[in-house]
């Protein structure tokens, strides 16, 4: 009996060896700059993953579009991205939103886990006469965002909810989202945007005082928003629950993704996903938005990119991959 047990143990070790050998000592997680909510997401995920299979090093970039080629090639193993950007990048230049798709074509993008929704809102100085998105017409609005293309679509969505377009405002060019807030603080712009409760908003509020203003969340406004940018939806944030939310305010919401390139080894993806899966309770204290980074949201029929094979196997083993999801995956694999 002892001999058989020893042989069995040796066999288990031998079989486990190759999988374990695929795990590196460290991986890189690409994200947006410090001060953004995506950086907060990345910091929290890096913390819980680093407590398990390997260390995770954060690498901030000016914006998602600047690190997509690295994620697509596998040079960067993981990235915090958003559903809309990923749909545009994965499907390529033939697919356009707002008449454009400037994202680098990235057909190798794969989803590891659908996370919490990101909420972004229009931002003005606290003493501004602007009360709703309709008051933005004719005002100086930050735009262009060449280093942070996602924010161009955010601004397009804000305007579209009220039936407005870029031609209805005076565009103040900025490279990325943080610089948009700088322009507002410096008085070069009347309106910008940023993510709910971000460090950059707290900084601006302490400096000059800022507040969010609502988009149009009526049924008609919600339809205009969805039609303008598929993947966006409205969500009301209650007064006083976050910095710069001084009254009930409607924000744009869209999903954050933990993503990888398809060439990243399955074992790496599964190990990272397992670490997050088993520690979701440790995420919520890091930031309020992590409250919705849950197991229940991880698999999404309406995902904009296909799931990584390692993630698919992980979810199947846990009974979280129903037949409907398999059909959705197959549709996504043939964009």
Reply yes or no on whether the pLDDT at 140 is more than 50.
Answer: yes
Place 52 in a pLDDT band, splitting at 50, 70 and 90. confident
| Span 49-78, average pLDDT | 93
Question: 113 CB contacts (<8 Å, ≥6 apart)?
Answer: 257, 258, 273, 276, 298, 311
323, burial (CB in 10 Å: exposed 0-12, middle 13-18, buried 19+): exposed
Highest CATH level, class, for 120-254: alpha beta
Q: Give the span between the Cα atoms of 26 and 21, in whole angstroms.
A: 13
- Categorise residue 144: left if φ over 0, alpha if ψ from -120 to 50, beta otherwise: left
Class of domain 25-116+256-332: alpha beta
The structure tokens listed for 16 are 């486990």
- The domains of the chain are located at 25-116+256-332, 120-254
Reported as a single tens digit per residue, the pLDDT across 2-37 is 444 443 334 333 334 334 447 999 999 999 999 888
- Would you place residue 335 in the very low, low, confident or very high pLDDT band (cuts 50, 70, 90)? low
Strand pairing report for 170-174 and 109-125: unpaired
| 25-116+256-332 matches 120-254 in fold | yes
- The C-alpha atoms of residue 309 and residue 313 are separated, in whole angstroms, by 6
Question: What's the pLDDT at 22?
Answer: 74
pTM of the model: 0.79
- Tens of pLDDT along 301-334? 989 999 999 999 999 999 999 999 999 999 999 8
**pLDDT above 70 covers what percent of the chain?**
93
230-289 per-position pLDDT tens digit:
889 999 999 999 999 999 999 999 999 999 999 999 999 999 999 999 999 999 898 877
């Amino acid at each position: 009996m002892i001999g058989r047990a020893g042989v069995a143990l040796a066999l288990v070790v031998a079989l486990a060896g190759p999988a374990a050998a695929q795990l590196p000592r460290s991986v890189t997680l690409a994200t947006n700059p410090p001060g953004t909510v995506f950086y907060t997401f990345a910091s929290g995920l890096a913390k819980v993953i680093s407590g398990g299979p390997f260390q995770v090093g954060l690498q901030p970039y000016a914006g998602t579009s600047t690190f997509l080629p690295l994620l697509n090639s596998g040079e960067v193993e993981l990235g915090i991205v958003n559903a809309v950007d990923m749909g545009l990048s994965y499907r390529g230049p033939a697919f356009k939103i707002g008449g454009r798709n400037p994202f680098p074509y990235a057909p190798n993008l794969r989803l590891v886990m659908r996370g919490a929704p990101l909420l972004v809102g229009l931002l003005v100085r606290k003493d501004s006469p602007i009360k709703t998105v309709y008051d933005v017409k004719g005002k100086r609005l930050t735009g262009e965002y060449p280093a942070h293309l996602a924010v161009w679509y955010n601004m397009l969505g804000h305007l579209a909810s009220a039936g407005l377009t870029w031609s209805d405002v005076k565009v103040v060019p900025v490279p990325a989202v943080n610089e948009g807030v700088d322009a507002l603080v410096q008085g070069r712009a009347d309106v910008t945007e940023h993510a709910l409760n971000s460090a950059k908003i707290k900084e601006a509020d302490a400096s000059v005082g800022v507040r969010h203003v609502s988009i149009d969340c009526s049924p008609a406004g919600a339809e205009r928003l969805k039609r303008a940018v598929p993947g966006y939806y409205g969500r009301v944030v209650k007064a006083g629950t976050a910095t710069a939310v001084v009254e009930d305010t409607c924000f744009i919401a869209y999903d954050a993704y933990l993503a990888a390139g398809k060439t990243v080894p399955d074992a790496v993806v599964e190990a990272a996903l397992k670490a997050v899966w088993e520690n979701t309770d440790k995420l919520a204290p890091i930031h309020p938005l992590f409250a919705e980074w849950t197991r229940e949201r991880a698999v999404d029929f309406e995902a904009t990119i296909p799931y990584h094979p390692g993630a698919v196997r992980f979810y199947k083993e846990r009974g979280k991959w129903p037949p409907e999801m398999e059909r959705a995956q197959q549709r996504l694999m043939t964009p």
